[in-house]
Structure 1
Amino acid sequence: MLPLTRKRSTLVPASRDRRWFDELPEDVLILICCHCRIDELLNLRLTNLRTRRLITEYIATIAPSSARSTFPTSDLLLTRPESPSQYTVPWLKSLIPRHLAAILVDRHRFAHDFAEQRYGIPAEDPYGDALRARIANGWCVLRRLSNISQEIYGLRARCVLKSTTDRAWKFVHPSRFKFEVFRQREELILTKRLEYIKGLSDEMVKDYKLMFMLLSSAFRTSISNYGDDYKPWIFDWGCGIDGQRLLRRGNSWLTWFVLYEGPDLFWNQWWSLCPDRPQTKNHIRDRSIEAWFGKSKITSEDFISQFLPKEWNDVNEKWHGIQRDNAFKIQKALDERAMAASTDFTAVNPIMYFTQYAECRQLREMSGTPPAVETLSHVPFHIDFRCPEELFQKFCVFREGRSNVITSGPRNNA
């Protein structure tokens, strides 16, 4: 057994580790930065002043390499700017909403056999640039709405509460104090978000509505989603039977969760996390379920194992009611702004873009032009919940009736 003094001599203090990193030659640090993905590089900028200055000084070299490390197959996204001076940290940050837009436009696909149409434009097809630019604007609006929430939740309770009486509840009635802090946080978030929405341009409001319409399609409770592998939609009465519409309108608790988490929620599942990990494809679903239960006494596993759609109940109705109500007010304010800006429904509906692209594809096929390269097939795009029991039973009845018609048809003819 080594003496105690010997053991101490083999340990390297954390401060020495940091000094060692700081003392690396600049060319080595630049090489490290070039191999970082965007998220990693942005975090690295926060470690110390020297690293931040180095990244700023050599950003024209670091930015294109970091972007390629993050998006190795995205040639269209990483089209070289006209001048190297355009390689900046803001340029790097802008790639995230632009890539989320590319995923949303690419993966939004539904096959129509009768028309041979495909709703969705591949990320490497320049034809979708106009739509992707609008969707990226929508992601930026969602980012700001999320940041407002994160900033308010980062404040201390005394900065949120309006009066000393509210603060006194901390000692007299702790549970009431906790709820009052939560309620006034949500009020403050709602106020600041509505102020932000008033200052938005008409085009940005329409782009947000367009983006959210596409985004809602990622949440699925389809007939094929049946069995214990799919967790039920537990957030609202109806168990997701009309989940996409409720999400867009702000009638669902999930709308509040999306507004709170912002683009990071989708960036993680669609791109940042390893797509080969089993947990990645259900990252958004599982995060939302975890957040919905919060610190309630019942565990999510116990609740879901006993889940009965006809006996649906909210584990924390008082808190969730405020969140749903505020999410509805935000979506309603944006909808009203969008309607005031334009009465043309196609201005906030992506179908026009996709139908026009379907025609373009047909013309290309007729002329022998090869299709655009597919680069996002591996993205775990959909957020899958269990098919609502009511919908599944209707499907079973329909399938049984159709089967009876097919089997009895020839006998009647005979």
Structure 2
Amino acid sequence: MSSLTRQKPSANQSRHTDGPRFDELPEDVLILVCSQCRIDELFALRLTSRKTRSLITEYIGTIAPSVARSTFALDDLLLEPRDGTPAYTIDWLKGLIPQQLAAILVDRHRFSHDIAQQRYGIPAEDPHGNDLRVRIANGWRVLRRLSQISQEVYDLNAKCVLKSTTDLAWKVVHPSRYKYEVFRQREDLIFRRRIEYIRDMDVEMAKDYRVMFTLLSSVFRTAIANHGDDHKPWIFDWECGIDGQRLLRRGNSWLTWFILNEGPDLFWKQWQSLPPSLPSTKNYIRDRSIEAWFGASKIAPEDFISQFDPKEWADVNEKWHDIQRDYACKVQRALEERTSSGTTEYIAEPIGYFTRYAECRQLRAECGIEPPKEVLSHVPFHVDFRCPEALFEKFCTLKEDRALAMAAQTSRT
């Protein structure tokens, strides 16, 4: 069969059919377009050409406030100037990301508990939560750097990661061992660089990270009541998810490694960047984590869980996951030890902030003061899993019922 070829258009034809390139538009038009972008879109535009990047840099004082308002249309407190008029720069825009993630985490945490909801969380538009939000934003910044270290190492060529020429020789002699050695030594290098970062970290930043991660663990929910196709099973750990939040905080969960690797972008996409109306948005974090867990094995969670036995835990990538889980635990432990080196009292639990806010809110209500407006009710906050224990118990119950039915039928015959 003859191959199809496409004739390359002449320069005149190309210009006539395609029109001018984006960066060939008049500057006033480019500024207007950039000003209508959201933060992610503007950052992407900066990478399209040198001219576009230079133009955004030159007119960022005009572009940045408009982009911020386009991105955070309802969030007045977030964009409220503090300590004078802000310098509208790219760094200012980037700084809004951890601040917004902090506002979401502190606000939506109210709905992480079934009882005493009035104790938990502070609405994003209430200035009463500013002190806590500053701490949580610092925690997001620490997570960002931990994630960047991972990405920097994974961007390195394998030759820059492997310690010896013997390791390189495995590429020809034993490809699977070579692949494993590259992976193992990458994770080892990531861990060493993270530990160096933690050792040099300001103690208060380490404390803020711990407070942030305490709240972040509440995002992941596993419950017996979670059933049906909307809930995928928690498949990441030996204890199988019934105690997933505690495992996550301590670093005993593979999911902790995944969060450290992906960083704030994982939550930014589900909570802010992706359209909340899309069904896939509310499960973005869950589906990404399951996909990463299975990796190249391509096993569906349902197929894996159908043979699940908590007493005989079988991980499809056990050697790899054990290394990742171990390093995640060591990183969390190093951050915990770093917080103990400070001289000031450390509050690991944010509940004190919420308790004081509950008292403040009650006083306001008694004085007839209206509560702050709600601006984050649309955020798909939680990551919901099924408990594999519940599925296994159901399987055992059905198996036992069938055995009893068969025994009864045999006795009648």
Q: TM-score, normalised by structure 2?
A: 0.88
* Contact 1:290 1:300 (8 Å CA) reproduced: no
Deviation at 1:53, TM superposition (A): 1.3
Aligned partners of 1:72, 1:98: CA distance in 2, in Å?
15
* Contact 2:305 2:388 (8 Å CA) reproduced: no
Deviates more, 1:303-312 or 1:62-71: 303-312
Deviation at 1:387, TM superposition (A): 3.0
Deviation at 1:157, TM superposition (A): 0.4
Is 1:348 the counterpart of 2:364? The answer is no
Deviation at 1:305, TM superposition (A): 4.7
Deviation at 1:226, TM superposition (A): 2.3
Percent sequence identity is 69
Aligned partners of 1:307, 1:64: CA distance in 2, in Å?
52
Q: Which residue matches 2:403?
A: none
Deviation at 1:15, TM superposition (A): 12
SS in 2 for 1:295: helix
Deviates more, 1:104-113 or 1:177-186: 104-113
Aligned partners of 1:11, 1:153: CA distance in 2, in Å?
44
SS in 1 for 2:375: coil
Deviations 1:147-182 (A, max 9, x none): 000010011101111111111111111011000000
Aligned partners of 1:131, 1:192: CA distance in 2, in Å?
29
Aligned partners of 2:344, 2:82: CA distance in 1, in Å?
36
Deviation at 1:47, TM superposition (A): 1.4
Deviation at 1:17, TM superposition (A): 5.5
Aligned partners of 1:190, 1:6: CA distance in 2, in Å?
52
Deviation at 1:229, TM superposition (A): 2.7
SS in 2 for 1:132: helix
Q: Which residue matches 1:397?
A: none
Deviation at 1:297, TM superposition (A): 5.8
Q: Which residue matches 1:71?
A: 72
Q: Which residue matches 2:266?
A: 265
Q: Which residue matches 1:371?
A: 371
SS in 2 for 1:385: strand
* Contact 1:63 1:89 (8 Å CA) reproduced: yes
- Residues paired across the two proteins, number: 391
Aligned partners of 1:387, 1:131: CA distance in 2, in Å?
32
Deviation at 1:301, TM superposition (A): 4.7
Q: Which residue matches 1:26?
A: 27
Deviation at 1:109, TM superposition (A): 1.3
Letter of the structure 2 residue corresponding to residue 285 of structure 1: R
* Contact 1:59 1:89 (8 Å CA) reproduced: yes
Letter of the structure 1 residue corresponding to residue 93 of structure 2: L
Q: 1:200-349 maps to which residues of 2 (within 5 A)?
A: 200-296=201-297, 298-341=299-342, 344=345, 347-349=347-349
Aligned partners of 1:101, 1:87: CA distance in 2, in Å?
21
Deviations 1:265-304 (A, max 9, x none): 0001111111111111111011000000011263445324
Aligned partners of 1:293, 1:116: CA distance in 2, in Å?
36
* Contact 1:108 1:120 (8 Å CA) reproduced: yes
Is 1:180 the counterpart of 2:184? The answer is no
Aligned partners of 1:165, 1:73: CA distance in 2, in Å?
58
* Contact 2:309 2:392 (8 Å CA) reproduced: no
| CA 1:257–1:115: 2 relative to 1, 3 Å | closer
| CA 1:237–1:27: 2 relative to 1, 3 Å | same
Aligned partners of 1:320, 1:349: CA distance in 2, in Å?
29
Aligned partners of 2:194, 2:114: CA distance in 1, in Å?
43
Aligned partners of 1:332, 1:245: CA distance in 2, in Å?
14
SS in 2 for 1:321: helix
Deviations 1:49-75 (A, max 9, x none): 211111111111100100011110000
**Where does structure 2 lack aligned partners over 5 or more consecutive residues?**
395-413
Deviates more, 1:231-240 or 1:134-143: 231-240
* Contact 1:60 1:84 (8 Å CA) reproduced: no
* Contact 1:241 1:391 (8 Å CA) reproduced: no
Letter of the structure 1 residue corresponding to residue 188 of structure 2: E
* Contact 2:142 2:205 (8 Å CA) reproduced: yes
Is 1:358 the counterpart of 2:380? The answer is no
| CA 1:159–1:16: 2 relative to 1, 3 Å | farther
Aligned partners of 1:106, 1:255: CA distance in 2, in Å?
23
Deviation at 1:91, TM superposition (A): 0.3
Aligned partners of 2:113, 2:156: CA distance in 1, in Å?
50
* Contact 2:147 2:263 (8 Å CA) reproduced: yes
Q: Which residue matches 1:411?
A: none
Letter of the structure 2 residue corresponding to residue 350 of structure 1: P
Letter of the structure 1 residue corresponding to residue 373 of structure 2: V
| CA 1:169–1:103: 2 relative to 1, 3 Å | same
* Contact 2:276 2:282 (8 Å CA) reproduced: yes
* Contact 1:63 1:92 (8 Å CA) reproduced: yes
Aligned partners of 2:15, 2:237: CA distance in 1, in Å?
49
| CA 1:391–1:333: 2 relative to 1, 3 Å | farther
Letter of the structure 2 residue corresponding to residue 231 of structure 1: K
Q: TM-score, normalised by structure 1?
A: 0.88
| CA 1:13–1:83: 2 relative to 1, 3 Å | farther
**Where does structure 1 lack aligned partners over 5 or more consecutive residues?**
395-414
Aligned partners of 1:112, 1:147: CA distance in 2, in Å?
32
Deviations 1:111-156 (A, max 9, x none): 9898673411000000000000000000000000000000100111
| CA 1:362–1:333: 2 relative to 1, 3 Å | same
Q: Which residue matches 2:197?
A: 196
* Contact 1:110 1:118 (8 Å CA) reproduced: no
SS in 2 for 1:145: helix
SS in 2 for 1:87: coil
Q: Which residue matches 2:92?
A: 91
Q: Which residue matches 2:411?
A: none
Letter of the structure 2 residue corresponding to residue 375 of structure 1: V
Q: Which residue matches 1:403?
A: none
Deviates more, 1:43-52 or 1:320-329: 43-52
Q: Which residue matches 2:385?
A: 385
Aligned partners of 1:199, 1:161: CA distance in 2, in Å?
26
Q: Which residue matches 1:398?
A: none
| CA 1:306–1:330: 2 relative to 1, 3 Å | same
Letter of the structure 1 residue corresponding to residue 349 of structure 2: N
